[in-house]
Structure 1
């Protein structure tokens, strides 16, 4: 990372995911959550970020094919090599993260420290399994999609503009957005500042 301040004062996080692409061609060796995919992704990130280590590496999206042991052992190797300081999971099932913690404790491998999950007033699925699991194992939870791609601000309640990144806005999200806007008006704050 080209730091504006000393690297020791920066926190560099990145993810590796199901598929990397080289140009327009897909390479079968760069798919899934495999060790090879992870190592290549980390090497590419280090080069792109112009740094010699990553503070937090997330596995982004579980592929349901690669053994958890392979993933966690590769993460541990990257930690021991000094290329990664901490590891975590993003958009992965609670059972995967629980098993990863158990493996880390059993074999002395790098223990996952973070779980990144979609979480908002419109999407509270994480409360069923992920949040209790994270609390039990002491994982830090980092939420993404807090405003559901802008839907909870109410900006998509009018006809026409729909978000480009998401699959459209559900009626539930629109109803929640209307309620949040009413509450914000009642307490004299913006939607972003509701306690």
Structure 2
């Protein structure tokens, strides 16, 4: 990243030096090559703007400070110098004011594009953060559902044990009732036997006396 930034800075320095040299030639050049020099300078300005945009984007991506503001100020000074040369030239055929306004409009459009790029980048970061929060929420929800599922299984097992215990208690109750009934029956039989024996004894005594 740092190597790429240095490469852009070197290219920008070469371009500004070339523009300055061409402006110097424009001051002393003859009328025949003024238009050609102006077109070349205009193309150099466009290329310099593109380089500064690339440099600014790379600097932002690297998260480091940059000298783009100083470079833009320097480029603006060179433009002012070029504008002064073209304005002071009486026999110049190209409308320098129109060219300068076009550059200004192009710079404003580039600035708006950069601002839009920043907003899109911030929106993208917000979406990424929102997506991360959604994923975390989904993970928490999945963990909660898993805990609820485990608790449900535990409750179901507890209910099953309660049913088994209730069934065992019912069986024990029925068994106890059966044992009580049998004990009552046995007692009734014993009482009946004692009564029969008593009756027989009484009858034997009666017949023996008579």
Tell me the TM-score normalised to structure 1 length.
0.27
Larger radius of gyration: 2
| More RCO (CA 8 Å, sep 6+) | 2
Say which structure is richer in helix.
2
Say which structure is richer in strand.
1
Tell me the TM-score normalised to structure 2 length.
0.26
